[in-house]
A and B are shown apart, each in its own frame.
Chain A
Amino acid sequence: MSDLNKMTIADARDALRAGDVTSVQLTEACLTAIEGAGALNAFVHHTPEIALERATAADARITSGDAPAMCGIPLGIKDLFCTQGVASQAASRILEGFRPEYESTVSAQLRDAGAVMLGKLNMDEFAMGSSNETSVYGNVVNPWKVDSRDLTPGGSSGGSAAAVAADLCLAATGTDTGGSIRQPAAFTGTVGIKPTYGRCSRWGVVAFASSLDQAGPMTKTVRDAAIMLEAMCGHDPKDSTSADLPVPDFEAMLTGDIRGQKIGIPREYHMDGMSAEIAELWGKGADMLRDAGAEIVDISLPHTKYALPAYYVIAPAEASSNLARYDGVRYGHRATLGPGDGITQMYEKTRAEGFGLEVQRRVMIGTYVLSAGFYDAYYNRARKVRTLIKRDFEEVFGKGVDAILTPATPSAAFGLGEMAAADPVEMYLNDVFTVTVNLAGLPGVALPAGLDSKGLPLGLQLIGRPWEEGALLNTAHVLEQATGFVSKPEKWW
């Protein structure tokens, strides 16, 4: 069998169980692909020894007949997940040299299911960014290329998206605070789901904005997303916001039958200046779901316009609190001090050297909106607007809508460096279709739905009811079958 690294999780699982392939073979194919893909800068910490050791163990487990679906599947792990003994630095200089003594719950669940960690994946620093240009490791390059420009894979899970799109791994973990799984999935023609807030434990995942952060899988197909999500979910006593709910067999819920489902099209997502191609793709997506027996209804989510400003109050506020822990005392970077420098200078110099500019900006904005005299005007007002945004969704679901179809991003992947001159707010607009979902705590999945006129992938997003990832993935599965998207980037790296 050739090109083992190009397999899906589902096919690899079946081939492993049938004895047609071994995990060691799959893993070696991925390690070779990674070695040849330095130009993408997706993998930033390589762990081939761990990978081969786990692959060997997985093969033994598969032979013994007791193997979960993820057993033997080679994965990339986003650098935001703490992995025992392996560098985990959230793409930040401030965590240089940090090797956790513990494993995040999500990556431990994958490890315990027999999955193979190939290495750690590049990302925006502390998951703050939409283009993977804020990483201490440098930019990730999108494997999709249509002219001389290097394109962004999106962010913050840009390394994960690029690695999956370029077949460097069968799938990868991502995290999503405002769209960081779904936007890069859309930019790279891959599938990414952010589950309901509380589905995946946040324990051991470097915190950005704790009320918004969720982990999720980034995969080549919707079926793979269902398989991998199941392995990542579940109650964890170490995360007080982790939901104590049974995890269903998501894959078994991919029946392909969505007859009678009500799919909402929110009128507020028709943004001014939306590209005609994205508007057309969105309309086609709705037609395909209608052809599959769903009922398409127009809906209104009146507070959509306020989601981005609310998010850019709440997320930095939480970040400024979470990132207060990086003080040069317990782990990571400490600045070299001058004569007479005291502890305050140590904090200030360490954080100035350790945090990149976007992280500094967000920490300071968060500090400002939480400071005395501004707390009510900004932070409390934003939390009230958040209540209204969630209520918009509740009203729509209350009227019987099962899922909501939207574009995933306002454009296809743009060139690295093209937004350098833009003000920060312009970059934030990338999250316009995804951020509402985090604010409301809902599950959202992005999947590729077509190519634009230049040949770049475009994605659609489906938003589901809380805890109904299974039904949501089933709708996504139907849309995936209908669009028949199979394009892959042509190898240039």
Chain B
Amino acid sequence: MSEIDLETARKVAHLARIAVPEDNLPALAQELSQILTFMEELNEVDVEGVEPMTSVTPMRLKRRKDGVTDGDMQAKILSNAPDAREGFFAVPKVVE
């Protein structure tokens, strides 16, 4: 059985950019461990020489000219932003 310890749970939450209160980490670690244990059934399968699937239907990706096909929609793009100012998305200070 796979064991996710508190430190790993904390690290995964941070990588996923989800704030998890310290009190909730033990339960999270346990749940993640359960799910990973379930996934480990895959270790029974002989995958020697098998290619990992990249595309479920055998199709060539289409190509098109690398050109601008639309634009001029600043107002539309900003219309749903929680904070937009002077034509920009606004966020807290990034650089000190």
Contacts and interface: CB of A to CB of B under 8 A. Distances in A.
Contacts, number: 170
A477 interface: no
Nearest to A340: B92
Contacts of B59: 198, 241, 243
Contacts of B77: 101, 330
B18 A351 contact: yes
Given A367-B16, A441-B56, A331 B50 contact: no
Contacts of A352: 18-20
Nearest to B75: A101
Contacts of A386: 52-53, 56
A99 interface: yes
A382 B57 CA distance: 17
B56 A390 contact: yes
A363 to B, nearest CB: 5
A310 B50 contact: no
A138 B53 CA distance: 37
A65 B55 CA distance: 43
B42 A313 contact: yes
A220 interface: no
Interface in A244-302: 244
Interface in A332-361: 332-334, 337, 341-349, 351-352, 355, 360-361
Interface string B14-30: 11111110000000100
User: For the side of the interface on A, what is the size category?
Assistant: 35 or more
A305 B41 contact: yes
B68 to A, nearest CB: 15
A101 B94 CA distance: 29
Contacts of A328: 82
Nearest to A366: B16
A303 B36 CA distance: 19
A332 B81 CA distance: 7
18 contacts: A101-B79, A197-B56, A310-B42, A312-B35, A312-B38, A328-B82, A330-B89, A331-B82, A333-B82, A345-B19, A345-B92, A348-B17, A352-B19, A361-B32, A368-B32, A383-B53, A387-B51, A439-B56
Interface of B: 4, 8, 12-20, 28, 31-32, 34-36, 38-45, 47, 50-57, 59, 61-62, 64, 73, 76-77, 79-83, 89, 91-94
In the A-B complex, list the 7 residue pairs whose CB atoms are closest, starting with the nearest: A441-B56, A383-B52, A334-B82, A331-B80, A348-B19, A384-B47, A352-B19
